[in-house]
């Protein structure tokens, strides 16, 4: 079985790769950074994980189409995980240029449409398949200075619901994961510096990846279309 | 006082023009269709309504900027109503091209950002102002075959919330109106043909416009950020 | 036209009385405190407002039934406002006794059912009528230490929706008002003491009452089933 | 480890018992029907499952307190599942007596408070524990003729949120499961009679129970507070 993951940077993306190869899936890992893709492939090669690295720029529909054309035809695609999003910095509405908003929307939301369109016909033909979308608190709440994250993320949620409602009865499971909190990555820890980090107060990427796997593996009589995940100490 | 209305086609847009000129506001009416703008201006001229028609294509940031540059400086802008959206036809995810999605998003959502950015600095300077966004059921529900409406409309809702939270304490009232149902327009009635239309089963544009006015006129100690409106017989 | 208001203490209740008598309605004001009812009646008498004070304990179904039996039959009841709720203090789940929870639920939620049942048959017979329910932030958010408010208030919201969906097509407008913030009452100001209170940072009861009136007066082609109201500086 | 399940009728309750004993937990199974409890205990005894049957009437706080007093002190309680609810038939608001509403609320909602209060102090002392609440579509939507289900179920959701927010930082995981659809039980199949039942169109109790187990087993850095589950063909 093939799982396609678009957005496999360090952190959640890499953990998803490990989770799904660990379960025997062939992972087609897509990301912009070729060097990080290479290191992921090397890591998997060492432990016998099946992985194919494909460079892809989620903000460009053509790049997504090219990347999806490289998915091997020899096996079925059971799962697509859309984990890409534009880089984001909080900014006033007045400091968010239309160009920035558009770029954010393309990488986060339009790319999710293009990737879904590339994968759905095959899933429909085989009668099953799972598409998982990484969301955020900003998917359901437009906070001050967060518009360039919230606008695209709200959009992805709309898309996930539309796909779930149109394709669910054809056996396609679309699910949206509301990630609330900060993911525990090297970058996060560098950023937090000497600040004490209570145990389990950051989202563990491998624990997150397990949740994604459980959604993929759900019996189709009990599909989850949306769930939230957050550290036990997270205010919400 | 000036009210800017972007999206003044027949139906809700025209009713908003009538409501706000009727209350003594100078309305700057923006729409793509020059001919309809002209007829609106003529109608208002006859009854002494103050109106300025400005052609504007909501899907083009530059066109919005140009249009907003034509707002007279002689008076204050008390209200902006973003009522523009792209034409929409229900379609499968698979029949919604990235180009269509992008065009829909630009006219419906990106335009709302650009218009808000054009009007906010003045409102902040004067310490008050109201921005009203026309939403839809598709703003909170991604139905099957509705993605090209839902994705942009979810985005507008995110934007409205971001503006409300950032600028509320500075005296700017951002509010989002969830329109649920079919608006009573000539076009609607043509489309429905001989089908019987029970009284008040379609949204009356003038009654809608009154709700918008009430939101504009709300005391700032009791601001509404979101409300729904639907005909009494509408299923929801 | 008669408007019945259950829960007419100082603050919002009294402002609702003033708003609806000011519009020419005969108000049947129901509250537990006979002395305050008397002072309201006296106040209205002086300015020619039509009011009937009826003592009522919202936590007791029999008391509600008795009170509603005293509504004059000589006129039609156009509006019921359920504004009663139990007194509340934040408390841990562990310090909220089942008895307290039950008492809170009865006054806030069960009473709303009983009052609605008393008024609906007449409204259905005449083919119109409005029922307004006072909600709170706690109607949509179960915060820490707020369970004895949130459990009943969530319940009232469920009830408002059930009534709206069952009786809407029969011409009955049920609407739920999410009050977010602190109401400006004498008690509030005493409680806040010397703390500076920025202008309009507390919900003005008379401005709130105007919103209730607008909901009552809504054209049935544009009914609002839910809206929020909060001061412009309120965090949300 | 002990798991307490309140509401262990045939269907979901029995499947939860099997899931948690299958994972080595000692299950304290509570239900009103002594005969069904006995048959569950017998079944578990045969395969070596650890189970203790305790009769309990969820609509009576005293009965819950008595039942919880019988939980063995020799082991720790890791999980409480509140799966009890009152029997329900759709009915008009006008045909739902206050007595019925109160009875429904007590078994479905007040019981959830009482059970949580009985279990929380021990969980707080040990620094961990999970409380799972069975919800329904009626937890977030007050449909016509569903008030006697929706009012209590909305209330349980408020309670789950209050507990999650108060006790999360103390290591207690409260989660609410929105069950949308019809559970596949013998009773359901009898009721549906000769109607064809497409495969997986009813919620499989054992698949549901697996979701509950996954929530129990979640790493505390990625807790889910709410998720929905529904069959792939379910309209939503």
ipTM over 0.90 threshold: yes
CB contact under 8 A, C144 and D154: no
What pLDDT sits at residue B21? 98
CA–CA gap between residue C8 and residue C40 (Å, rounded): 9
Residue C164 belongs to a domain with what CATH number? 3.40.50.720
List the 132-171 stretch of C: residues with Cβ below 8 A of B. Answer: 165, 168-169, 171
The per-residue DSSP string of D66-134 comes to HHHHTS-TTS-EEEEEE----------GGG--HHHHHHHHIIIIIHHHHHHHHHHHHHHHHT-EEEEEE
Q: What CA–CA distance (Å, rounded) separates D189 from C20?
A: 54
Contacts of D110 in chain C (CB under 8 A): 98, 101-102, 105
> Phi-psi category of D181—alpha, beta or left, where left has phi over 0 and alpha has psi -120 to 50?
left
pLDDT class of D213 with cuts at 50, 70, 90? very high
Other CB atoms within 10 Å distance of the CB of residue D92: 14
Given an 8 Å threshold on Cβ–Cβ distance, is D228 in contact with A226?
A: yes
Residue D35's pLDDT is: 94
Mutate to test the interface with B, among A58, A124, A142, A164 (most CBs of B within 10 A): A142
* Distance separating alpha carbons of residues A154 and A173, to the nearest angstrom: 19
pLDDT at position D233 is: 97
Chain A: nearest CA to B161, how far in angstroms? Answer: 5
pLDDT tens per residue, range C156-202: 999 999 999 999 999 999 999 999 999 999 999 999 999 999 999 99
Strand, helix or coil for residue A203:
strand
- Quote the CA–CA distance of B141 and A132 in Å, as a whole number: 18
Give how far Cα A50 sits from Cα of A30, D75, D131, Å.
14, 44, 39
Under 8 Å between Cβ of C167 and C124: yes
Give the C-alpha separation, A212 to A175, whole Å.
9
- In terms of CA atoms, which chain C residue is nearest residue D165? C144
pLDDT (mean) for C44-73:
97
Neighbours of chain D (3+ CB pairs under 8 A): A, C
Q: What is the 3-state secondary structure (H, E, C) of A30-87?
A: EECCHHHHHHHHHHHHHHCCCEEEEECCCCCHHHHHHHHHCCCCCCCEEEEEECCCCC
Residue among A165, A184, A228 whose CB faces D226 most closely: A228
Largest CA distance in chain B: 53
d(CA A114, CA A167): 16
C-alpha R_g of chain A? 17
Residue B217 lies in a domain: yes
Phi–psi pair at A183, nearest 5 degrees: -80, 140
Q: Which residues, including other chains, have CB under 8 Å from residue A158's CB and lie 6 or more apart?
A: B138, B142, B147, B150, B151, B153, B154
pLDDT value, residue C98: 97
C-chain CB neighbours of B236 within 8 Å are 165, 225
Chain A: partners with 3+ C-beta pairs within 8 Å: B, D
Q: What torsion do the CA atoms of C222, C228, C232, C234 make, to the nearest 10 degrees?
A: -170
**Residue A234 forms part of a structural domain:** no
pLDDT band at B34 (very low <50, low <70, confident <90, very high): very high
Residue D80 in any domain: the answer is yes
> Would you call A142 and B153 a contact, using CB atoms and an 8 Å cutoff?
no
Contact yes or no for C30/C114 (Cβ under 8 A): no
Q: How confident is the model at residue A71 (pLDDT cuts 50, 70, 90)?
A: very high
Q: What is the pLDDT of residue A28?
A: 98
Say what the pLDDT of residue C135 is. Answer: 98
Nearest CA distance, A79 vs chain B (angstrom): 18
Helices H / strands E in chain A, number of each: 8, 7
- Across residues A166-184, what is the average pLDDT? 98
CA distance D112 to A176: 29
Rounded to the nearest 10 degrees, what angle do helices C98-105 and D111-126 cross at? 140
Confidence of residue D17 (pLDDT cuts 50, 70, 90): very high
Residue C72 lies in a domain: yes
| Tokens at B121, concatenated | 């600095």
Name the nearest CA neighbour of D174 among C172, C93, A113: C93
DSSP per residue over C43-82, as a string? HHHHHT--EEEEE--TT-HHHHHHHHHTS-TTS-EEEEEE
D117 touches chain C (CB under 8 A): yes
Query: Which among D109, D143, D165 has the least Cβ separation from residue C144?
Result: D165
Residues 6+ apart with CB under 8 A from D40: D8, D14, D17, D29, D51, D53
The predicted structure's pLDDT at residue C2: 98
Instruction: State which residue of chain B sits closest to A161, comparing Cα positions.
Output: B142
pLDDT tens per residue across span B184-215: 999 999 999 999 999 999 999 999 999 999 99
Paired residues of A194 in beta bridges: none
B155, B207 Cβ separation under 8 angstroms: no
Q: Is residue D19 part of a domain?
A: yes
The residue of chain D nearest to residue A162, with distances taken between CA atoms, is D236
User: Could you say which of D210, D232, D236 has the minimum Cβ distance to residue A171?
Assistant: D232
Q: What is the rounded distance in angstroms from the CA atom of residue A4 to the CA atom of residue A130?
A: 10
Residue D217 is predicted with a pLDDT of 98
The residues, ordered by sequence, that sit 6+ positions from D28 with a Cβ below 8 Å of its Cβ are D2, D3, D4, D5, D51, D52, D54, D70, D71, D72
Cα angle: D210, vertex D211, D216; to 5 degrees = 95
pLDDT at B94: 98
Q: Flag if C117 and D93 touch (Cβ within 8 Å).
A: yes
Do the chains contact at A219 and D200, CB–CB below 8 Å? yes
Chain C residue closest in CA terms to B199: C221
Averaged pLDDT, B134-152: 98
Phi and psi torsions of B201, nearest 5°: -90, -10
Can you tell me the distance from the alpha carbon of B188 to that of B45, in angstroms, rounded to the nearest whole number? 27
Interface test with A, best of B158, B172, B225 (most A CBs within 10 A): B158
Q: Measure Cα distances from B235 to A21, B137, B182, C19, D82 in Å.
A: 47, 11, 12, 31, 33
Q: Which residues in chain A are closer than 8 Å to D203, comparing Cβ atoms?
A: 221-222
Contact predicate C177/C132, CB 8 Å: yes
Cα distances from B10 to residues A84, B3, B18, B104, B191, in angstroms, run 40, 18, 11, 20, 15
* Cα D236 from chain centroid (whole Å): 22
Q: pLDDT per residue over D156-188, tens digit each?
A: 999 999 999 999 999 999 999 999 999 999 999
pLDDT tier at C204 (50, 70, 90 boundaries)?
very high
**B236 falls within a domain:** no
Q: State residue B1's pLDDT score.
A: 97
C-alpha distances in Å from residue C225, one per residue of B82, C103, C164, C213 = 22, 27, 7, 14
Strand A77-82 vs strand A2-6: parallel, antiparallel, or unpaired?
parallel
- Name the residue with tokens 């009728």: D9
Cβ of B138 and A161 within 8 Å?
A: no
Q: Which residues contact D232 (CB under 8 A, 6 or more apart)?
A: A168, A169, A171, A173, A220, A221, A223, D200, D201
Strands B51-55 and B77-82: unpaired
Question: What digits encode the pLDDT tens for the residues B46-86?
Answer: 999 999 999 999 999 999 999 999 999 999 999 999 999 99
Does residue B235 lie in a domain region?
A: no
pLDDT category at C42 given cuts 50, 70, 90 is very high
Please name which of B46, B50, B48 lies closest in space to residue B74, comparing C-alpha atoms: B50
Contact C168 B218 (CB under 8 A): no
Which residues, numbered 170 to 229 in chain D, qualify as contacts with chain C under a Cβ-Cβ cut-off of 8 Å? Answer: none
Token look-up 């309140």 returns D6
Are B169 and C232 an interchain contact pair (Cβ–Cβ within 8 Å)? yes
Tokens standing for residue D224: 């889910």
CA distance C120 to D96: 13
Comparing CB atoms, the residue among C208, C220, C227 nearest residue B226 is: C227
| pLDDT 10s digits, A176-218 | 999 999 999 999 999 999 999 999 999 999 999 999 999 999 9
Q: Give me the domain span that covers residue C55.
A: 2-229
For residue A190 the two structure tokens come to 């560098």
| Residues A115/A82, Cβ–Cβ less than 8 Å | yes
Instruction: Record the tokens describing residue B175, joined without a space.
Output: 């509010």
Rounded CA separation D66/A32 (Å): 61
Say which of C168, C204, C227 has its CB closest to residue B219. Answer: C204
Q: Is B73 helix (H, G, I), strand (E, B) or coil?
A: coil
The 10s digit of each residue's pLDDT in D28-76 is: 999 999 999 999 999 999 999 999 999 999 999 999 999 999 999 999 9
**Residue D114 falls inside a structural domain:** yes
Total domain count for chain D? Answer: 1
* C-contacting chains (≥3 CB pairs under 8 Å): B, D
Please state the separation of Cα C113 from the chain's center in Å.
Answer: 13
Instruction: Say how far apart CA D227 and CA D208 lie, in whole Å.
Output: 12
Contact C81, C5 (CB under 8 A): yes
Contacts of B158 in chain A (CB under 8 A): 138, 142, 147, 150-151, 153-154
User: Hey, is the C-beta of D59 within 8 angstroms of any chain C C-beta?
Assistant: no
Nearest by CB: C98 against D61, D144, D161: D61
Query: Which residues of chain C make contact with D142, given a CB cutoff of 8 A?
Result: 157-162, 164-165
Query: In this structure, are residues D227 and D178 in contact, taking their beta carbons and an 8 Å threshold?
Result: yes
Residue B173 C-alpha, separation from nearest chain C C-alpha, in angstroms: 7
Q: DSSP readout, D173-198? A: EEEEEEE-S-B--HHHHHHHTTS---
Chain B residues with CB inside 8 Å of A163's CB?
Answer: 93, 147
User: How far is it, in rounded angstroms, from Cα D4 to Cα A160?
Assistant: 36
Six-digit token string for D46 = 């045969």
Find, among D83, B164, A76, B45, the residue nearest to C229 by Cα: B164
Identify the DSSP state of C195: S
State the pLDDT at residue B57: 97
Q: Strands B129-136, D226-229: parallel, antiparallel or unpaired by DSSP?
A: unpaired
Instruction: Name the residue of chain B whose CA is nearest to A146's CA.
Output: B162
Q: How far apart are CA C159 and CA B187, in angstroms?
A: 37
Q: What is the pLDDT of residue B137?
A: 97
C-beta of residue C177 within 8 angstroms of C-beta of residue C215: yes
Q: Please answer yes or no on whether C221 and B202 come within 8 Å at the CB atom.
A: yes
pLDDT in tens, A15-70: 999 999 999 999 999 999 999 999 999 999 999 999 999 999 999 999 999 999 99
The average pLDDT across B88-93 equals 96
Contact state of B165 with A144 under an 8 Å Cβ cutoff: yes
């Amino acid at each position: 079985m093939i799982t396609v993951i678009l957005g496999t940077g360090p952190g959640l993306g890499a953990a998803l790769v490990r989770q799904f190869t660990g379960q025997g899936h062939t992972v087609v890992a897509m990301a912009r950074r070729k060097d990080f893709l290479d290191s992921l492939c090397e890591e998997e090669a060492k432990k016998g994980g099946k992985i194919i690295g494909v460079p892809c720029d989620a903000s460009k529909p053509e790049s997504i189409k090219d990347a999806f054309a490289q998915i091997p035809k020899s096996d079925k695609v059971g799962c697509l995980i859309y984990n890409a999003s534009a880089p984001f910095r909080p900014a006033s509405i007045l400091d968010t240029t239309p160009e920035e908003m558009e770029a954010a929307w393309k990488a986060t939301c339009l790319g999710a449409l293009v990737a879904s369109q590339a994968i759905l016909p095959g899933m429909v033909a085989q009668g099953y398949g799972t598409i998982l979308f990484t969301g955020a608190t900003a998917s359901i709440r437009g906070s001050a200075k967060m518009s360039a994250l919230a606008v695209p993320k709200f959009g992805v949620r709309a898309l996930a619901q539309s796909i779930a409602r149109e394709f669910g009865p054809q056996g396609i499971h679309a699910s949206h994961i509301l990630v609330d909190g900060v993911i525990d990555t090297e970058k996060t820890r560098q950023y937090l510096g000497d600040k004490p980090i209570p145990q389990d107060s950051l989202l563990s990427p491998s624990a997150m990846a397990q949740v994604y796997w459980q959604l993929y593996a759900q019996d189709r009589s009990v599909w989850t279309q949306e769930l939230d995940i957050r550290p036990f100490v997270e205010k919400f």
